[in-house]
Chain A
Amino acid sequence: MKYLDEFRDGEAAAAMARRIARTVTRPWTIMEICGGQTHAIVRFGIDALLPEAITLAHGPGCPVCVTPLEMIDRALELARRPEITLCSFGDMLRVPGSSGDLLSAKATGADVRIVYSPLDALRIARESPSREVVFFAVGFETTAPASAMALYQASREAIVNFSMLVSQVMVPPAIEAILSSPTNRIQAFLAAGHVCAITGIELYAPIAERYGVPIVVTGFEPLDILQGIAMAVEQLEQGRAEVENQYARVVRSDGNLAARAMLEEVFVVADRRWRGVGTIAASGLEIAPRYAAFDASRRFGLEDHHVEEPAECRAGDVLRGELKPRDCGAFGSLCTPEHPLGAPMVSGEGACAAYHRYRRLEVA
């Protein structure tokens, strides 16, 4: 397949791996932010091509993984109301809240629908005026513009039976939170290419400068990731800490201006709790006051309450890149894709699920 096969080519990958091996003189720890990159690393076995000196830490960039428990509980509370049709992305429906997940709620009669876009949820609202249709908006800067567009259209068309439960988060504050942690060991980042396709790359420069870390905006195919690692390693070895763009075929330095304008129109920046990580200042988006009528929390009077995570789940350590999934005591025993304790075991983009599904063959 064009634009795919050439980025999965075995010989080119081997050549890139040799370039990395030639460059490395000492150990480095590099974090890929995005769950899609984690998935590709484990699926294709990219880590197996790297010299031992390079450690890949998997970042918090899985949208369902970082959605806090109380948000899922709120979605469940909404889904169980007879007048509500709750729509969200497929991944989100299996993530356990403190009392079950959305798929189980569906099995016991709740009207829960998988949609591929927030605009599909808006269409359902348009077609079912007697239902209250709520879209559960999760994800990073990649999903936020479509959520914003759905709210914008709902407002313009005065679709009064549509509202949104918003748990949108942003990547750069999470990178800063990881770098500010006293236990941080991440020395360079592969930033998420698709996020940067929206936001552009300019906002990463202050982070690279302040913390002295190379940040390479990277794509999702095996060769993209290998090249991103090569560029990060070259910077580390040369003592540079700059923002570089490996994914220039998709990412413009100022991003997608129309999408950014839509985000500014509909959302405002807010503090947000990340599952397993805690509250990160100015890391979330919430509905701007002029669109407040479409805020599901407000419309249905949902209370803000705090829920504790199960103690045996170390998802937080995994999401901060401080623990490999297979080093967690619950991995594969108490916690499996069939019975996930934490969200990283649910989504294909979650590091734990990726490790479970694409276990490496350890050749003796």
Chain B
Amino acid sequence: MSAVDVASMLSCPVPIEQYPTVLLAHGGGGRLMHQLIERMIVPAFANPALAVRHDAALLPVPTSHVAFTTDSYVVRPIEFPGGDIASLAVFGTVNDLAMCGARPLYLSVGFILEEGLPMETLWRIVQSMRRCADEAGVWLVTGDTKVVDHGSGDGIFINTAGIGLIEHDLTIEPRSVRVGDAVILSGDIGRHGVAILAAREGLELETAVESDCAPLATTVLALLDAGIEVHCLRDLTRGGLGSALIEISEAGGVRIAVDDVAIAVNESVQGVCEILGFDPLYLANEGRFVAFVPAEQAELACAIIDAHGAGTRSAIIGRVDRGEPLVTMLSSIGATRIVEMMSGEQLPRIC
């Protein structure tokens, strides 16, 4: 690639000397919209399915079962330590597919842009989406752009939908969870919640906490390839580990017993929790999941997760017991309590 090509890739391709910010006309269907899509978005997302420029992407699907999911992403600030709205939008949907044991292939992208969004910011987000799609091994094959009045949005909202292939015979869902299953947590919890909080509130932490935002499909597919009989998977998102376990317990009709000491929490995250009165169990994550597998395969599953993870250690944090649907937790001092769903968001305490 010549130096000129590199320079043209790194700078915003829409003539920002004329349009330093997004205008309503960029969503109006006319020349400006055409320019935005043709010069910025299509080249950035380039792939054969998108290149056809049809009303819909035509996709080869070589299996009889596909997984299909969608999610919308709103986050403030849109760029934060360890990620941005683009990485959430790509990895979030990829991870939802991965939790079905699917191999993610194709994503759609819907942008809702607020008038006045700096064009440079949009360009960074579009480039970030491309990088994340490459990392996760998916194509961004179809999309849409709308622009709303200044004040009617929060800079940028993104919706993605995704299609993945099911290439195994397992039924990976809460109802497949069995008494005796081991509960595996793929890494430490709470990083995303604290990274966002620190960025939003200007908290100055001794050690900056980065979001754990990451694609999980490769790890999950490695588990399946190794013959791990995965019963259920769930990525930990807004409601944190606590909510994910409760949802599985209720949907699967099983009792889950976890050990507080086995759940890893990074020291900076722990520090923020101690100061503000947050429980890491309910902090948001974007790159962690729980897996329910037969106890005898648990050690192997952990080794596979660690081999594919981003440097944090997975752990067996509990097991599935007989009994009514409930999540219980053994505290560090040896007492057992029931884990409840959070009501609303956690608010910082007073003293």
The residues of A with any CB-CB pair to B shorter than 8 Å are 1, 4, 8-10, 13-14, 36, 39, 42-46, 48-49, 63-64, 89-94, 114, 116, 138-140, 142-143, 194, 222, 336-338, 347-349, 356-361, 363
Stretch binding the partner chain, chosen from B124-132, B178-186, B332-340: B332-340
Given A359-B337, A360-B338, A361-B338, decide whether A91 and B350 contact each other with a Cβ distance below 8 A: yes
Shortest Cβ distance from residue B263 to the other chain A in the assembled complex, whole angstroms: 13
Given A45-B336, A356-B340, A358-B337, are A89 and B267 neighbors across the interface (CB < 8 Å)?
no
Knowing A10-B332, A222-B332 are in contact, say whether A142-B270 is a contact too (CB < 8 A).
no
B299 adjacent to chain A (CB < 8 Å):
no
Residue in contact with B350 in the complex, picked from A43, A48, A139, CB distance below 8 Å: A139
Q: Tell me the smallest distance from the CB of B193 to a CB of chain A, in Å.
A: 14
20 new A-B contacts, CB < 8 A, other than A13-B333, A64-B350, A116-B348, are: A1-B267, A10-B332, A45-B333, A45-B335, A46-B333, A91-B347, A91-B348, A94-B344, A116-B201, A116-B203, A143-B350, A194-B351, A222-B332, A338-B343, A349-B277, A356-B340, A357-B342, A358-B337, A359-B338, A359-B340
A49 touches which one: B203, B335, B346 (CB < 8 A)? B335
Task: Select the residue from B270, B271, B336, B347 with max chain A CB neighbours within 10 A.
Answer: B347
Q: Which residues of A contact B334 (CB under 8 A)?
A: 10, 13-14, 45, 49
In the docked arrangement, what's the CA distance between A49 and B277, Å?
23
Inter-chain contact A44/B333, CB cutoff 8 Å: yes
Contact call A36/B351, Cβ cutoff below 8 A = yes
Complex alpha-carbon distance, A63 and B335, angstroms:
27
CB distance from A191 to the nearest CB of B (A): 14
Q: In the docked arrangement, what's the CA distance between A280 and B73, Å?
A: 50
A48 & B270 in contact (Cβ 8 Å cutoff) = no
A-B pairs with the 9 shortest C-beta distances? A45-B335, A90-B347, A337-B343, A13-B333, A142-B351, A48-B335, A90-B348, A8-B332, A359-B338
Does any Cβ of A come within 8 Å of B54's Cβ?
no
Residues B277 and A348 in contact, CB atoms below 8 Å apart: yes
Q: A61 → chain B, closest Cβ, in Å?
A: 9
Binding site for A on B (CB under 8 A): 201, 203, 261, 267, 270-271, 274, 276-277, 279, 326, 328, 331-338, 340, 342-344, 346-351
A280 CA to B331 CA, complexed, in Å: 38
Shortest CB-to-CB span from A58 to chain B, Å, is: 16
Contact between A46 and B347, CB atoms less than 8 A apart: no
A347-B349, A359-B338 known; A4-B274 Cβ under 8 A:
yes
A46 touches B348 (CB 8 A): no
Q: Are B349 and A45 in contact (CB under 8 A)?
A: no
CA distance A9 to B334 in the complex (A): 9
Task: Please give, as numbers and ranges, the residues of chain A lying within 8 Å of B348 by CB-CB distance.
Answer: 89-91, 114, 116
CA A139 – CA B350 in complex, angstroms?
Answer: 7
Bound Cα distance A89, B350 (Å):
6
- Please measure, in the bound complex, the distance between the C-alpha atom of A357 and the C-alpha atom of B337, giving whole angstroms: 9
- Give min CB distance, B9 to chain A, whole Å: 39
- Kindly state the separation between the CA atoms of A15 and B337 in the bound complex, as whole angstroms: 21
Interface pair B270/A349, CB less than 8 Å apart: no
Task: Check A361/B328 contact, CB under 8 A, given A45-B337, A48-B335.
Answer: yes
B337 touches A140 (CB 8 A): no
Residues of chain B lying within 8 A (CB to CB) of residue A1: 267, 270-271
Give the residue name and chain of the B residue nearest to A336 (CB).
Answer: B343
Looking at the complex, which one of B335, B349, B351 makes contact with A44 (CB distance below 8 Å)? B335
**Chain A residue nearest to B277 in the complex (CB):** A348
Alpha-carbon distance between A36 and B350 when the two chains are bound, in angstroms? 10
A130 to B237, CA, bound (A): 40
Query: Known contacts A1-B267, A44-B332, A361-B328: does B337 contact A92 (CB below 8 Å)?
Result: no
Q: Which single residue of chain A is at the shortest CB-CB distance from B269?
A: A1
Known: A1-B271, A43-B331. Contact between A338 and B350, CB under 8 A? Answer: no
- Give the distance to chain A from B86, nearest Cβ to Cβ, in Å: 27
Q: Which residues of A contact B261 (CB under 8 A)?
A: 10
B residues less than 8 Å from A8 (CB atoms): 332-333
Given contacts A89-B348, A89-B349, A43 and B337 within 8 Å (CB-CB): yes
For the complex, what is the distance from the CA of A89 to the CA of B349, rounded to whole Å? 7
Q: Which residues of B contact A194 (CB under 8 A)?
A: 351
Residues of A within 8 A of B270 (CB): 1, 4
Chain B residues within 8 Å of A357, by CB: 340, 342
